[in-house]
Amino acid sequence: MALTVDKASKSFPGVRALKDASLELRSGEVHALMGENGAGKSTLIKIITGVHRPDGGRLLLDGQDVLFASPRDAIRLGISAVHQERNLIPRFSVAENILLENLPRRTGLVDYARANAEAKKYLEMIGLVVDTRTEVRHLSVAQMQMVEIAKALSHEAKVLLLDEPTASLTGEEADALFALVQRLKAQGAAILFVSHKLEEVLAIGEPMANMTRGRLIEAMIGRAERIAVVRPPKAATGAVKLEASGVATAAGHRDISFTVRRGEILGLYGLVGAGRTELARALVGKDKLSGGTLSIDGKPAVIRSVEEALKRHRIGYLSEDRKYEGVVLLHPIRFNVAMTIWDRLARFLGFQTAAGERRATEPFARQLEIRTPSLEQSVGNLSGGNQQKVSLAKWLAAKVDLLIIDEPTVGIDIKTKAYIHELIGKLADDGLAILLISSELPEMVALADRILVMHEFRIVDGFDNDRSYEAMSRKVMGAIHRHSDEAVAVE
Amino acid sequence: MGAFFRLQWSGILVGIIAGGIALALSAPAFLSEFNLFVLLRSICVSLLVAYAQMVMLGVGQMNLSVGALGGLVAVVTGGLMDALGVPTLPAIMIGVAAGGAAGFVNGWLTVRTGINGFIVTLATASAFAGINLGITKAVPFYNLPADFVAFGNGRVGLFPLLLIVPLLVTVVLALFFARAVPGRHMLAVGGNAPAAQLSGVSVPRAIISAHVLSGLLAAVAGVLAVAQLGSAQPTIGSDWLLISFAAPIIGGASLAGGAISIVGTLLAVVLIGLIQNAMVLVKVDPYWVQFLLGALILAAVWFNRYRAIKVGEI
Amino acid sequence: MDPAPRRTLTSLLLRGSTQAGLFVILVVLWVVFANLAPGFLSKFNLNSLLRSVAVDIVVGFAQMVVLATGGMNLSVGAIGVCAVMFSGYLMQVLGLPIPVAIAGTLALGALLGWLNGFAIVKTGVNSFVVTLASASLFSGGMLILTKAVPLNGLPAEFGAFGKSAVGPAIGSMPAIPSLAVVALAIGLGLYVLFKHSTLGRQILAVGANARAAEMSGIPVDRTIVFVHALSGALAAAAALMLTARLAAAMPAVAGDDWLLPSFLAPVIGGTALSGGIVSVVGTILGALLVSTIRSGLLVLEIGNFWLPLFLGAFLLAAILVERGRAAYVAREQARRA
This complex has an ipTM of: 0.87
| Long-range contacts of residues A200-204, Cβ cutoff 8 Å, at least 24 apart | A200/A32, A200/A166, A200/A174, A201/A32, A201/A34, A203/A178, A204/A30, A204/A32, A204/A178
Q: Distance of alpha carbon A3 from its chain centroid, rounded?
A: 28
CB A421 within 8 A of CB A361: no
Tell me which chains share at least 3 CB pairs under 8 Å with chain A: B, C
Q: Measured between beta carbons, which residues in chain B are less than 8 angstroms from residue C112?
A: none
B288·C119 Cβ contact <8 A = no
Nearest to B218 by CA among B94, B76, B47: B47
Q: Measured between beta carbons, which residues in chain C are less than 8 angstroms from residue B129?
A: 308-309, 312
pLDDT at A488 over 50: no
Other CB atoms within 10 A of residue B101 CB: 14
pLDDT at C162 over 80: yes
Of B1, B179, B192, nearest to A89 by CB-CB distance is B192
Question: Best residue in A311, A330, A337, A353 to probe C by mutation, most C CBs within 10 Å?
Answer: A330
Digitized pLDDT (tens) for each residue of chain B, 314 residues in all: 445 444 667 778 888 999 999 999 988 889 999 999 999 999 999 999 999 999 999 999 999 999 999 999 999 999 999 999 999 999 999 999 999 999 999 999 999 888 888 989 999 999 999 999 999 998 999 999 999 999 998 999 889 999 999 999 999 999 999 999 999 999 999 999 988 988 888 999 999 999 999 999 999 999 999 999 999 999 999 989 999 999 999 988 888 888 899 999 999 999 999 998 998 888 888 788 889 889 988 888 888 777 777 665 55
Tell me which chains share at least 3 CB pairs under 8 Å with chain C: A, B
- Please check whether residue A310 touches C, CB under 8 A: yes
Distance from the B301 Cα atom to the nearest Cα atom in chain A, whole angstroms: 19
Amino acid A439: pLDDT? 80
pLDDT at C5 over 70: no
| pLDDT tens figures, A443-467 | 888 899 999 999 889 999 999 888 8
Rounded distance between C-alpha atoms, residue A313 and residue A307, angstroms: 9
CB proximity list for A440: less than 8 A, separation 6 or greater: A196, A407, A409
Other CB atoms within 10 A of residue B298 CB: 20
CB B92 within 8 A of CB B77: yes
- Please check whether residue A51 touches B, CB under 8 A: yes
pLDDT at A196 over 80: no
pTM of the predicted model as reported, rounded to 2 decimal places: 0.87
Mean of the pLDDT values across residues A205-229? 41
Q: Measured between beta carbons, which residues in chain A are less than 8 angstroms from residue C208?
A: 328-331
Output the CA torsion sign for A90, A93, A94, A98. Answer: negative
Distance from the B281 Cα atom to the nearest Cα atom in chain A, whole angstroms: 42
Q: What share of chain B is helix, strand, coil (3-state, %, to 5)?
A: 80, 0, 20
| pLDDT tens figures, C29-47 | 889 888 988 888 888 888 8
CB B43 within 8 A of CB B223: no
Domains in chain A, start-ordered, CATH in brackets? 2-220 (3.40.50.300), 240-490 (3.40.50.300)
Amino acid A490: pLDDT? 43
pLDDT at A220 over 50: no
Rounded distance between C-alpha atoms, residue A387 and residue A393, angstroms: 10
Rounded distance between C-alpha atoms, residue A284 and residue A127, angstroms: 39
Measured in degrees and rounded to the nearest 5, phi and psi for residue A76 equal: -60, -35
Nearest to A165 by CA among A197, A139, A203: A197
- Please check whether residue A331 touches C, CB under 8 A: yes
Amino acid C255: pLDDT? 62
Architecture of domain B39-308 in this structure: Orthogonal Bundle (1.10)
A300 three-class SS: strand
Rounded distance between C-alpha atoms, residue A296 and residue A292, angstroms: 14
Q: Which residue of C has its CA nearest to B301?
A: C125
Rounded distance between C-alpha atoms, residue A289 and residue A279, angstroms: 9
Rounded distance between C-alpha atoms, residue B139 and residue B256, angstroms: 40
Distances (CA, A) of A153 to A79, A120, A318, A455, B308: 10, 12, 37, 29, 34
Where do the structural domains in chain B lie, given as residue ranges?
Answer: 39-308
DSSP letter (8 states) at residue C251:
T
CB A141 within 8 A of CB A273: yes
- Please check whether residue A103 touches B, CB under 8 A: yes
Output the CA torsion sign for C53, C58, C63, C67. Answer: positive
Q: Distance of alpha carbon A200 from its chain centroid, rounded?
A: 17
Nearest to B298 by CA among C107, C138, C77, C69: C138
Q: Measured between beta carbons, which residues in chain C are less than 8 angstroms from residue A361?
A: none
Amino acid C105: pLDDT? 97
- Identify the helix (H) or strand (E) that includes residue A451: strand A450-455
A32 three-class SS: strand
Q: Which residue of C has its CA nearest to B62?
A: C128
Q: Measured between beta carbons, which residues in chain B are less than 8 angstroms from residue C320?
A: 113, 115
Rounded distance between C-alpha atoms, residue B89 and residue B75, angstroms: 15
A403 three-class SS: strand
CB proximity list for B156: less than 8 A, separation 6 or greater: none
Helix pair C178-196, C280-299: axis angle to 10 deg = 150
Rounded distance between C-alpha atoms, residue C58 and residue C194, angstroms: 16
B188·A81 Cβ contact <8 A = no
Question: Best residue in B199, B203, B309 to probe A by mutation, most A CBs within 10 Å?
Answer: B199
Nearest to A9 by CA among A19, A1, A23: A19
pLDDT mean across residues, chain C: 87
Tally A–C CB contacts below 8 A: 83
**Single-letter code of the amino acid located at C175:** A
pLDDT at A36 over 60: no
Q: Measured between beta carbons, which residues in chain C are less than 8 angstroms from residue B60?
A: none
| pLDDT tens figures, A369-378 | 888 888 888 8
Distance from the A110 Cα atom to the nearest Cα atom in chain B, whole angstroms: 5
Rounded distance between C-alpha atoms, residue C23 and residue B21, angstroms: 62
Question: Best residue in B57, B290, B302, B305 to probe C by mutation, most C CBs within 10 Å?
Answer: B290
- Please check whether residue A110 touches B, CB under 8 A: yes
A342·C215 Cβ contact <8 A = no
The lowest-confidence range among A33-47, A236-250, B294-308, C201-215 is A33-47
- Please check whether residue B4 touches A, CB under 8 A: no
The more confidently predicted of residues C188 and C307 is C188
| pLDDT tens figures, A223-275 | 334 455 678 877 778 899 999 999 999 888 999 999 999 999 999 998 777 88
B202·A49 Cβ contact <8 A = no
Q: Measured between beta carbons, which residues in chain C are less than 8 angstroms from residue A326?
A: 212, 215
Other CB atoms within 10 A of residue C166 CB: 10
- Considering A346-355, A468-477, B109-118, the range whose residues carry the highest mean pLDDT is B109-118
Amino acid A128: pLDDT? 85
CA dihedral C263, C269, C274, C276 (to 10 degrees): -130
| pLDDT tens figures, A75-96 | 888 888 888 777 899 889 999 9
C123·B302 Cβ contact <8 A = yes
CB A400 within 8 A of CB A432: yes
